[in-house]
Amino acid sequence: MTGTVDTDLHPGVDVVCLGESMVTFLPSLPGRLADVPSFARTIGGAESNVACALAAAGHTVTWVSRVGADGFGDHLVDAIAAYGVDTSGVRRDPDRPTGIYFRTATDRATDAHEVAYYRAGSAASAMAPGSLSYDDLWAGRVLHVSGITAALSDDCLALMRELTTRAPGRPLLSFDVNHRPGLWRDGSGARVLLELARGADLVFVGEDEAAEAWGLHGGDAIRAALPEPATLVVKRGSAGATVYERGAAGAGATVDGGANGGVGSGPDGGANGGVGSGPDGGADTVTSVPALRVDVVAPVGAGDAFAAGFLSATLRGLPAAARLRHGHLMAAATLTVPGDLGAPPSRADADRLVDLDDAAWGTLRLGPGWTAATEQEVRTP
C-alpha cells in the first residue's frame, strides 16, 4: 500500500476511525481542579475528534468503538452522530462504563495543567481481536487509528497489532502516534508505538513526542527510524510541519510551503534537505510548510484537527504542500475554540487560503471566530 488512497478497493465510506471517545468536562474557570466550581460537558477522543472534523468538512465517516450502556454512552453516540458521523459500528457494553475525564483550562504543556481520567476498565478498553467486525473496520478508503488505543489494555494492544499487520485488501492505514506516557504503566509505550507505526501507511508524529519517546531529534532522524510508512508527517509545533513521501513525483527533492511547490527552506532559514529512503531504497520527496499565526484559546485537539485536514486533502488527491496547509487550517479552527472540536472553514474558503502564495500565507493571522468570517473579513493581503 502506498501513501495514496485506493478508491477501487473501498469505494463507499471515506474514512473509518477506531478508538475510545470520552465525555469531557471543561472547567468554568481557570485554576486547579480542586478549585473549579463547575464544568461544562462535551466530548473528546483523538479518533472521534478526527471523525467529527472530517464529517464537518463534508466526508463520509464511520466511528467504530465501544461505549457503556449508560447515559454518558448515549450522549457520546448522539453528539458524534450530530456531526454527521455514522455510529452504527459502535457497540454497547452492559458491564463496563463509558470513560470520562476532567481537565483544567491551562495548556497541556505546562506544569499547571491537570487531567483526571476515569477510564480504567471502560467499555472501550474491552476492544479486542474478534470483538469488532472487519466489515466495519475495512469499509473505508482510510482506516485511522492512534497509539492511545494500544495503551488502554492488553486486548486493545492485540487489536492494534493485528490492524497494523500488512494484509491484502487493507485500506490505507493512518496512524497518529499520540504518545501519552501516563497511559503506559509498564514503560513499554515508546517501543510499542514505534513497532505499530512501522506497520502503517501514513504516520503522524510530533517532533516533541518523538524526542520524548524515542530520543530522536528532527524530521530526518525520525524518518530514518521509520522508513516503512509511505508517508510520514512530522509536526513541528509553531515551526510548521514536514511530510516525507516515498514514491512521489520528484522523489529525492525538497520543496517548500507553497501549495504549488518550489525551492524551500527549513525553520532556520537554511535548506531543509535531508532525503530519506525506504526499505526498498526509494528516495523521499520532503515538503515543509510553516505554521500559521494563531490567537490560541486552547491547544487541546489541535493535533487531531491537523490530521483531519491532512486526510481530507489526501482524499481529494491534493499535492503535499496543500495537504499540509489544510492540516494547519483545520488545526487553527480548533486552536481558536475552548473545546476539542472547532467548526472547520468551508471548503471554498479553505481552498482559497491554501492557494495563497508564500508571502500571503505568512501574513495570515487567525483568531476566534475566523471560520465564520466572510471572505473579506479573514485577514489576507
Please tell me the distance from the alpha carbon of residue 312 to that of residue 53, in angstroms, as a whole number: 9
HEC sequence for 285-325: EEEEECCCEECCCCCCCHHHHHHHHHHHHHHCCCCHHHHHH
Residues with Cβ < 8 Å from 258, sequence gap 6 or more? 264, 321, 357, 358, 361
What pLDDT, on a 0 to 100 scale, did the predictor assign at position 276? 44
Three cell numbers written together for 376: 473579506
Q: What is the mean pLDDT of residues 280-308?
A: 87
Q: What is the mean pLDDT of residues 102-121?
A: 75
Q: What is the mean pLDDT of residues 117-127?
A: 93
Residues with Cβ < 8 Å from 228, sequence gap 6 or more? 198, 199, 200, 278, 279
Q: What is the mean pLDDT of residues 134-155?
A: 95
pLDDT, tens digit, for every residue of 159-189? 999 999 999 999 999 999 999 888 888 888 9
What pLDDT, on a 0 to 100 scale, did the predictor assign at position 300? 79
Q: What is the mean pLDDT of residues 145-153?
A: 96
How many residues are listed for the chain in this entry? 381
Q: What is the mean pLDDT of residues 267-281?
A: 40
Q: Which band of pLDDT confidence, cut at 50, 70 and 90, is reported for residue 211?
A: very high
The least confident of 9-23, 72-86, 213-227 is: 9-23
User: Given a cut of 90, is residue 79 above it in pLDDT?
Assistant: yes
Q: Which band of pLDDT confidence, cut at 50, 70 and 90, is reported for residue 26?
A: confident
What pLDDT, on a 0 to 100 scale, did the predictor assign at position 248? 60
Task: Name the active-site residue from 136, 304, 349, 351.
Answer: 304
What pLDDT, on a 0 to 100 scale, did the predictor assign at position 376? 42
Percent of the chain, pLDDT > 90? 63
User: Given a cut of 70, is residue 88 above it in pLDDT?
Assistant: yes
Q: Which residue in 168, 224, 176, 234 sits closest to 200, CA to CA?
A: 176
Percent of the chain, pLDDT > 70? 84
What pLDDT, on a 0 to 100 scale, did the predictor assign at position 127? 96
User: Given a cut of 70, is residue 66 above it in pLDDT?
Assistant: yes
The least confident of 29-33, 80-84, 196-200 is: 29-33
- Given a contact cutoff of 8 angstroms between Cβ atoms, the answer to whether 56 and 83 are in contact is yes
Q: What is the pTM of this model?
A: 0.87
Average pLDDT, the chain: 86
Task: For residue 8, indicate whether it is catalytic.
Answer: no
More confident residue, 108 or 186: 186
What pLDDT, on a 0 to 100 scale, did the predictor assign at position 282? 67
What pLDDT, on a 0 to 100 scale, did the predictor assign at position 291? 93
User: Given a cut of 70, is residue 262 above it in pLDDT?
Assistant: no
**How deeply is 373 buried, as exposed, middle or buried, from its count of CB atoms within 10 A (0-12, 13-18, 19+)?**
middle
What pLDDT, on a 0 to 100 scale, did the predictor assign at position 109? 53
- Given a contact cutoff of 8 angstroms between Cβ atoms, the answer to whether 18 and 144 are in contact is yes
pLDDT, tens digit, for every residue of 315-350? 999 999 999 999 999 999 988 887 778 888 889 999
What pLDDT, on a 0 to 100 scale, did the predictor assign at position 163? 97
What pLDDT, on a 0 to 100 scale, did the predictor assign at position 278? 47
User: Given a cut of 50, is residue 268 above it in pLDDT?
Assistant: no
Q: What is the mean pLDDT of residues 2-26?
A: 78
